[in-house]
Amino acid sequence: MSARAGAPRHVNGHCRPFLKWAGNKYRIIERIRALLPPGRRLVEPFAGSAAVFLNTDYARYLIVDSNADLINLYRILQAEGENFIRYCRRLFGPGANTPETYYRRRDEFNATGDPRRKAALFVYLNRHGYNGLCRYNARGGFNVPFGRYRRPYFPAAEMRAFHARAHRARFVHADFTWAFAQLREDDVVYCDPPYAPLSPSASFTGYSAGGFGLDQQERLAKLAEAAARRGVPVLISNHNTSFTRRIYGNATRCERFQVQRYISCNARRRHEAGELLALYG
């Protein structure tokens, strides 16, 4: 699709999320869609950039995430649409793309109690911060450094595309165990958890608030098994490692392939890594 004004940017014909997000799934959406079974409602316990929500066609969606700032943003965009998009755009005006402005607004984001202002600042920080990371310190403060981009993109068209679909969705701030407790007949589940580390000394989850340890990885696999026994299919994506192959050993089907990682701003440090999709039920 051409990059004409007002049209959302697409990759391989798919709708691109308005947030930059580590591990974004729009580049492998066809693999995911090929494995997702039909159903009435798609439940996503790890919302992330909402790439799967944007590129599937279920009647209803339950979109859950443990990041309160992310869910707050999605709810406000769902409720306000164009008014909120115009409000966010003002943060991208002259003088916005400097370290001084970025760090002042990052401090404001961490201090404000205004949900609407916080949501707009989240969009600004996401587009101006280092590599689009979402990372918090031990006190819960957003601490991603300035990204030094030449011309940060304001995703107005992508935000409109999200808003156009959001009437189908319920956005909830909760953890993945809560999401599994809500499952009902004719649901389908897609899980994109913070990925298991590729090695004992490496972690791909430093940008995630609260962390997601190996015990939680195993807990998720057990919940997927239990859901499948009740007739609710679950698809999980993760790194392809000996650990994930073990915990997903009871999956009905596992598909493995290589993907390009985009976490590093340095193109020479970007690399292919093994990906795994495990389908239960």
The enclosing domain of 176 has a CATH number of: 3.40.50.150
Is residue 106, in this structure, part of any structural domain at all?
yes
pLDDT at 263 over 80: no
pLDDT of residue 269: 47
Is residue 1, in this structure, part of any structural domain at all?
no
Mean pLDDT of the region 234-251: 97
Is residue 72, in this structure, part of any structural domain at all?
yes
Higher-pLDDT residue of 240, 202: 240
| Predicted TM-score (pTM) of this structure | 0.90
Q: Across the chain, what does the average pLDDT equal?
A: 90
Is residue 4, in this structure, part of any structural domain at all?
no
pLDDT of residue 7: 53
Of 93, 47, 96, 77, the residue nearest 159 (C-alpha): 77
Q: Where are the beta strands (DSSP E) in 174-271?
A: 187-191, 234-239, 253-260
Report pLDDT digits (tens) over 75-108: 999 999 999 999 999 999 999 999 999 999 999 9
pLDDT of residue 219: 98
Report pLDDT digits (tens) over 32-86: 999 999 999 999 999 999 999 999 999 999 999 999 999 999 999 999 999 999 9
Q: Quick one: what percent of the chain has pLDDT higher than 90?
A: 82
Is residue 53, in this structure, part of any structural domain at all?
yes
Can you tell me the distance from the alpha carbon of 165 to that of 280, in angstroms, rounded to the nearest whole number?
A: 27
pLDDT of residue 8: 55
Residue 160: count of CB within 10 angstroms of its CB: 17
Report pLDDT digits (tens) over 198-233: 876 555 444 344 578 999 999 999 999 999 999 999
Beta bridge partners of 173: 65
pLDDT at 4 over 90: no
Q: At what angle do helices 156-165 and 68-80 cross, to 10 degrees?
A: 80
pLDDT of residue 14: 83
Is residue 2, in this structure, part of any structural domain at all?
no
SS3 259: strand
Structural domain range at position 213: 10-280
Is residue 164, in this structure, part of any structural domain at all?
yes
Q: Where are the beta strands (DSSP E) in the chain?
A: 10-11, 14-15, 41-44, 60-65, 169-173, 187-191, 234-239, 253-260, 272-280
- Indicate the number of domains in the chain: 1
Is residue 118, in this structure, part of any structural domain at all?
yes
Mean pLDDT of the region 120-148: 96
Mean pLDDT of the region 251-279: 75
Distance between the two ends of the chain, CA-based, in angstroms? 36
